[in-house]
Every structure is written in C-alpha cells, then in structure tokens.
Structure 1
Amino acid sequence: MDTVIVLFTRDLRVHDHPALSAACERGGRVVPLFVLDPAVPAGCRAGFLLDCLADLRESLRARHGDLIVRRGDVVAETMRLVREVEAGAIFAGGDVSELGRTRERRFAGERIDFRLFPGLTVVPPGALRPSGGGEHYRVFTPYWRAWSGWTRRAVLAAPSHVPLPPGLVAGDLPGPSPHPAARGGESAARARLKSWSSQGLDGYADGRDDLAGDRTSRLSPYLRFGCLSPLELAAAAGDRQEFVRQLCWRDFFHQVTLAFPRINRDDYRPRPRRWRDDAHAVEMWKAGMTGVPIVDAGMRQLLAEGWMHNRARMIVADYLVNHLGVDWRTGARHFFDLLLDGDVANNSGNWQWVAGTGNSTRPGRRLNPVRQAARFDHDAAYIRRYVPELAGLPTPEARTPWRLSRQVAGYPAPITPVD
C-alpha cells in the first residue's frame, strides 16, 4: 500500500482519531505531520500547544511512529513532504473555521488524494439539517432534540502500531514558552477526565454554576486542541444530561460556524444597534478594574489562568456589551487572545448570543451583576479569591463596595452605574 500523510491540526491525540486509524488500517506507511505556521501564532496558547505536541510525539513514538514537525505554510509544507515521501494521500480531520476551510479548499485543488474525517465534534457539523429546510439549525432546542437522536459512530481505540517510513527527519519542537496554568497534551487530558469522571461528574448538574466551588470539568482547553475526543467524552458522561448538553452546545456553534464562517467578524443576525467607542472603559474591563467585583473577579481569573468559569464568562460579556454598550467583537477578540480554550466557533458564538446578534431566542436579555453574584457566589468567596482588595469585607459589601461610606483603598468606584 502507498504512504499516507496524516495532517494533525486540532486533533492532537491518538485515541479516537479517525484519520490516523484509517491510515494505519491501510497497511502502508503513515507519516504523522504537524506544521507550525508563523502566520497563525499561538499567542498565549503557545506553551499549552507545545505540551500537546510533545505528548503526541511520545505517544506516536511508543507506537513505533513519530511526529514530523515542519514550519511554514501548512499546505505548502505538507505538499513538500508529499513529494519527499512519495505519499499517495493526505488524511486530515475536518474543520469549520474560515481558516481551516480555506486550507481544505487549497488541498482539494492539489493533485493528491485528500480526505477529511470526523472527530472535531460529537456529531459531524453538517450532518443534521432542519426538517423544515435550511442548511443548519439556528435555534438550540430543536438541534438538541435532533442531536440526541443521532446514532453515534463507535469510539476508536488508539492504533497499536504507526508504520513510519525510515530515514525521515522528525524536526525539532520550539523551545520553552511562557507556561499556562494547565499542562497540555492527551496524557494530561485523559488523566483529568479520569479524575473528574470519578469525583466531579455526578455533581456537575448541581454545581456547574458555583463560581467559587470550581466544579466544572476544566476539559475545554483539551477539547479545543483535540487532546480529548468529544465523542469519547460524551460516552464517558453517559446519561448525565446537563453535561452532555454542554457538549451539544459546542456542536451547535460548530454547525453554525460551518454555515456562517464569518461568525467572528459579522453579526449573525444584524440588529439596529450603535456601539459605544469607550477605550478607557474597555481597558478597565480588561484589567478587572470596573468597580463591579463579580465582573472584576472574572476578568482577573482570565488574566491569571487563561481560563474563566463559564458563568463568569456570561456575566463579564453581558457587562461589556449590555452595560457599557461596547461592540461584542472587542470582547471576543480579548477572550480569543487570552483563553486556552479560545476557538472561533464557541468564542464568537457565545459572544454573539450574549449580544443578541446570534442564536439567542431572547436577544434583549440583560444580566444584573449584583443579582448574579448573590446567586452564584453567595458567600463572595470567588470575589475574594480574585479581588484581594475586598477580601476583608463582609459578604454584602464585598459584592457592592460602592455602597460603603468610604471607598475601599486601591479599588475603583464603578465606571458606570450599577442596577
């Protein structure tokens, strides 16, 4: 059989990897490849990405293969390797982003057998179509019903042997980068999944909105880089519907992005709204110095950890868009720059949902940050953890320090009136 290049992009794992499994089953040579493209810098995710690649390389070497690393334009470098190893095919996981789909079109125009495989989501993004017509679901609930009835493919085991051609220069991974709070890679992802499945999954429904309790899975960065198969995660979750529903939301925004690839730039549902241009307010929001403690706690968690609790993401996004009146794209860019799990579909889809320009069925909704803090941070432990200026205050005052007779030293008054 001929040689197949398996191009890794957002699927940095060996378990449940349809493209890798299919290549190994052909009986020929398999060349696992990752291309570091300087035109697509990893930014704050660089350290996490390098962990992922190093771990993937070790997993492939344990199976008699290796990860070939090249630098440059993904299509050009892949085709150069095609000629070097005389490959007859390129196998890759499908993507939904504009960047990924542009690459796919370029590969399709080359004289090579180029095949795309599932694995990015639980249900392939283009598999479900509304019964009444249309290329994708615009509302979550009917999508959830259709998604829940979909017959899933089997979860694939990792291949036992990856037959790499002899004599290939693997290529070096870059040197150390500033390291995030979480360690990347499939090994870390699977360890986290095992631990959380036994200790946190059963309590997810009751605790997922507890800001201080930190009872969410924290698996989102691993899903973003494909260190963990979303299908395998859904299988592990079983009938815990609250958690499975979150995986469905992830799939939902991917199928929206497939149909609307400019989701990170254009309003999905345009609304007649004028945004405020307030550079000072934006900078205070980014720094976690708005004077609204629950907002500042979330923004400081983002700065410190490259991650933020999902409930906090909703609160801080709503504050920027609906209280400060700032364009959702400003917030989406900041999140994308700093989040370890930042990707186009989920990040932009959720920001547009908050802004009322996306898939929300209640586009005019607005959150009250004080009520959100009282409900989801009832003893202000989350606020005290990330806003130490308020650590010594009683709970009610820690949520609303502007109501004190004297301003708290080092902490600002609200930059806009709070309900």
Structure 2
Amino acid sequence: MRTAISLFTRDLRVHDSPVLRQAAEADRVVPLFVFDEQVLSSRFNRPNRMAFLLDCLRDLDRSLRDLGGKLVIRRGDPVAEVAELVDSQHATEVHIARDVSTRALTREQELHHALTERDCSLHVHDAVITAQPPGRVVPVGNDHFAVFTPFFRRWAEFPLRPVLAPPRAIRLPSGIRTSRLPARSKLCAGDVSPRLPSGGERSARDRVRQWFDAGIGEYSEGHDDLAGDATSRLSPYLHFGCISPVELIEQCGPSEAERDFVRQLAWREFHHQVLAARPACSHRDYRPRQDRWRHDPQALQAWRDGRTGIPIVDAGMRQLAWEGWMHNRARLITASFLTKTLHLDWRLGAQHFLDLLVDGDIANNNMNWQWVAGTGTDTRPNRVLNPMRQAARYDPNGDYVRKYVPELSGLPVRALHEPHRISADELADRGYPAPIVDVDEANARFRQSRGKL
C-alpha cells in the first residue's frame, strides 16, 4: 500500500494544490503541517502573522475533514518530523511546494538527504506559491531579470499550468497521531493588530468573489487612491497560499483593469525570481550605493509610531499598526521617507514592516524596500517621493489622513498637505507633533549624498 506525505508550508489550501492533489493519488496520505522551531524562535514569528496562520490552519483542517481526512500537526524540526512519519507510516513519497527563502532552500536540501537515506522520494512542486517558478523566466545570458518590464513581457508569454480541483477524497493511515492547534500565546507573545483580517481559504475565496464581482473594475483608476482603497487586499492570502496565483490569473479577462491586476501579480513574481537568484539580498544591498546611513533612534521611533509630524507618513504607519496591512502607495511613501528623507537604513524599515505586516515575506517586503531605497532594481535609484506632493495627489481631500490621524480632523486640506503651515501651538493643543525634519532640505541632502545635486 502506497503512503504519501503532503507537507504544507505556504500553500494552505485544497483548491488548485499540486502538492495535495498529487499526494492524494497514493492509497493513503498524511496532510502535515509542522510548526518549525527555528522559525518560531526567529524575529519572523510575529503576532499578526501567527494569528492569521492559525486561522488558515483551522480552515485547512476543516476542508480536509470535509474530504475525509484531517490536518496532522507537529512542532519541532520539519525534517525530523517528516522522517519520523516516513518511518512510522512506511511512506514512500513526500510532496512539498518550492519556495525561495533561505530557510526553505535549506529545508529542501535537508529533506532530500534524510529521505534518500530512507529510500523515500521527495517531490518538489513548482508553480504553487507563484504562477511561474523562479528560474523559469530568465533572459539570455543571465540567471534573472533585473528590470521588471522585460521580465513581465517574457513572463506573460509562458503558459500557465492547469488549475486543479481539490482531491475527491483524503484517505488517512489508520491510527495516525495528531495534535490540537496550540493557542497563539503558546507560539508567539505580543498583541495582534485590532483590525487584522481573518485568514483561511474560505475567507480568501469569499474575497476573490467580491473582488471580481464588484471591485476589479475600479482597479486601473483607483488602485493608488489612498482613501478609496480600490485594491484587492488579497496579499495576505497569497502570502499564505490560501488562494492560488494561477487561479487568480486564469480568472482575469482582457479588460484594462484585469490586465493591470495581472501586472501587479507579476511584480510579486519578479521579486521572487530576484531573491531566488540572489538569496543574500534578503539582507544585503542588491546594488550597493556606498550609503552612509544616519544613526537616529529618535527619528526611527517617531516613524515607527506614526508621529513624524508629516500627516501622510503618520497615517500610513498607523494603518500598519491598526490593520497589520498598509496600502501599497502608503508603503512607497513611508519607505521613501525613512530611507531618503531621514536617510535611515532600509533594513530598519523592512524589519518593522515584517514585525507587523500579515502579508510580510522576505521576497516582496525586502526587495520592495530595496527598490524604494535605491539599492535594489529601480532604474531610477535616486528618485525621492516628496510626501506632501504624494498626499496632494493620492489623498486630495485628506480623507485617508483624517481616518488614521484623528488629531488633525477639522483642519483644511491644505494644512494636511503642508503641515508646516499649522502653528506649533495648534499642533500642541491637538496632541500632534511638529514635523521632525524639513523635508525639502533633507531630500536635498540625500541627493547630494548620492552625488546628484
């Protein structure tokens, strides 16, 4: 009798799951998730993502039970836990999705070694976490594209694999031991953002239906509108694999809005292929600029707390703390302010985002931070986003600022866009700080430091 293990990582779904679908072709299958002690003890283990992950696992277990199975939970070293199950259940194959993080690559290598010793095959599935596997879309003479537009043109030429239905049934080995999902407090200390979305494949599919029924038509015109928020908000579900990027792309038609949405999905894939080719760029400059980053703990804390005195920046940072998510335009504005106005190291900002973002992953978070800092793939590395101009363009009525910075409600829009026009006394009365920096002067210093007067 053939027994397979389906090792879930960042593919927490039963629809369009190559890992689960192929494993379920065996006579018996063990759907397995391991709480990796190495991850649990790292700074990547943060309350928002853990709360969302537990939602995802509860939902996955429910879906597997509907198919006749259940999710087997373990805690420890994933390789050791898989090896124990291979031995105890006489499994002959293990299935897992390919990923690009350093931890994922190490896990794959260790699994291959451990399973080879046990005469058990390891099947690593592509196009599960991304629609095209990193390493497939490459230019002639190089191992990755360093500029998005040519990558996107080439990426769009590749056919997608077929969308897969869930397995008809999951047949567990008899007597398989599992554990109950632990409480979040047992896995990660700290508070969860008050407005964190609920996780899981069912929530993801509900959001996808709403998006294609009523949201996507406004995407081209409204995706940068901070107050309107015409974005899909699907990024947390993509990060945890609650929805398949292949399925999303397949649902998109020929309209301009749908093409623009696919282009944004491709940005996610672009960063994954860069990191797959250059793993060290998770923490090292992709293109060093000889920056001499400032050391200013007070400015860094003001930025983290959303108390820089620059309303649009503070609104973005408070949205992050409140929701565990931030509008993409606000991510660009707040990141540019930290790296190019305050001239603080992008790694400080990337870590704070990873501390709070429910969709935070190394590829998209850190490579986007490098893009904004000018140390990444941006073809205009010295561009600076002036936050006041950004506010006037993308929050013209001040509604986004008023929502997240209520101290400034009642002020005219001009004051929100030009905070230096608000008197120090009025700011003090409202409990809001004066700007911690003269933006124009600070931006000029940054350009000078990069040799661009």
- TM value normalised by structure 1: 0.97
Q: 1:398 aligns with which of 391, 416, 436?
A: 416
1-structure distance, mates of 2:410, 2:351: 34
Contact 1:264-1:329 within 8 A present in 2 as well:
no
Contact 2:60-2:201 within 8 A present in 1 as well:
yes
**Does 2:154 align with 1:146?**
yes
- Aligned partner letter, 1:415: I
Stretch moving more, 94-103 or 39-48: 39-48
Partner residue, 1:31: 30
Partner residue, 2:46: 43
**Superposition pairs for residues 103-118 of structure 1, below 5 Å?**
103-110=107-114, 111=116, 112-118=120-126
SS of residue in 2 equivalent to 1:357: coil
SS of residue in 1 equivalent to 2:236: helix
- 1:233: how far off? 1.0
- Deviations 1:233-260 (CA, angstroms, capped at 9, x unpaired): 1112233111100100000000011111
**Superposition pairs for residues 337-376 of structure 1, below 5 Å?**
337-376=355-394
Seen in structure 2, the aligned counterparts of structure 1 residues 67 and 102 have a Cα distance that, compared at 3 Å, is same
Partner residue, 1:123: 132
- Deviations 1:15-68 (CA, angstroms, capped at 9, x unpaired): 11101111122x421100000123213312111110000000000010011100
Partner residue, 1:193: 208
Stretch moving more, 401-410 or 31-40: 401-410
Larger helix proportion, structure 1 or 2?
A: 2
Partner residue, 2:172: 164
Contact 2:3-2:90 within 8 A present in 1 as well:
yes
Is there any run of 5+ residues in structure 1 with no aligned partner, and where?
none
Partner residue, 2:248: 233
- Aligned partner letter, 2:278: F
1-structure distance, mates of 2:113, 2:239: 28
- TM value normalised by structure 2: 0.90
SS of residue in 2 equivalent to 1:412: coil
Q: 2:435 aligns with which of 405, 414, 418?
A: 414
- Deviations 1:170-200 (CA, angstroms, capped at 9, x unpaired): 2110125555520000000000100111110
- 1:80: how far off? 1.1
**Does 2:210 align with 1:211?**
no
2-structure distance, mates of 1:252, 1:22: 27
- Aligned partner letter, 1:259: A
SS of residue in 1 equivalent to 2:359: coil
- Deviations 1:319-375 (CA, angstroms, capped at 9, x unpaired): 000000000000000001110000000001100000111111111110110000000
- 1:85: how far off? 0.9
- Aligned partner letter, 2:436: I
Contact 1:184-1:222 within 8 A present in 2 as well:
yes
- 1:270: how far off? 1.1
2-structure distance, mates of 1:370, 1:300: 17
Stretch moving more, 135-144 or 315-324: 135-144
- 1:2: how far off? 1.4
Is there any run of 5+ residues in structure 2 with no aligned partner, and where?
186-190, 441-453
Contact 1:407-1:413 within 8 A present in 2 as well:
no
Partner residue, 2:13: 13
2-structure distance, mates of 1:208, 1:241: 13
- 1:92: how far off? 0.2
- 1:400: how far off? 2.2
- Aligned partner letter, 2:177: V
SS of residue in 2 equivalent to 1:40: helix
2-structure distance, mates of 1:353, 1:223: 21
Contact 2:23-2:94 within 8 A present in 1 as well:
no
- Aligned partner letter, 1:59: S
The count of aligned residue pairs is 417
- 1:122: how far off? 1.1
Partner residue, 1:2: 2
- 1:214: how far off? 1.6
Contact 2:389-2:417 within 8 A present in 1 as well:
no
Contact 1:189-1:222 within 8 A present in 2 as well:
yes
SS of residue in 2 equivalent to 1:90: strand
Contact 2:294-2:344 within 8 A present in 1 as well:
yes
The percentage of counterpart residues that share the same residue type is 53
2-structure distance, mates of 1:176, 1:114: 31
**Superposition pairs for residues 93-112 of structure 1, below 5 Å?**
93-110=97-114, 111=116, 112=120
Contact 2:419-2:435 within 8 A present in 1 as well:
no
2-structure distance, mates of 1:175, 1:332: 28
Partner residue, 1:293: 311
Contact 1:3-1:30 within 8 A present in 2 as well:
yes
1-structure distance, mates of 2:432, 2:260: 37
Q: 1:260 aligns with which of 275, 278, 283?
A: 278
SS of residue in 1 equivalent to 2:94: strand
Partner residue, 2:198: 183
Stretch moving more, 373-382 or 1-10: 1-10
Large movers: runs of 4+ above 4 Å: 176-180
SS of residue in 1 equivalent to 2:124: strand
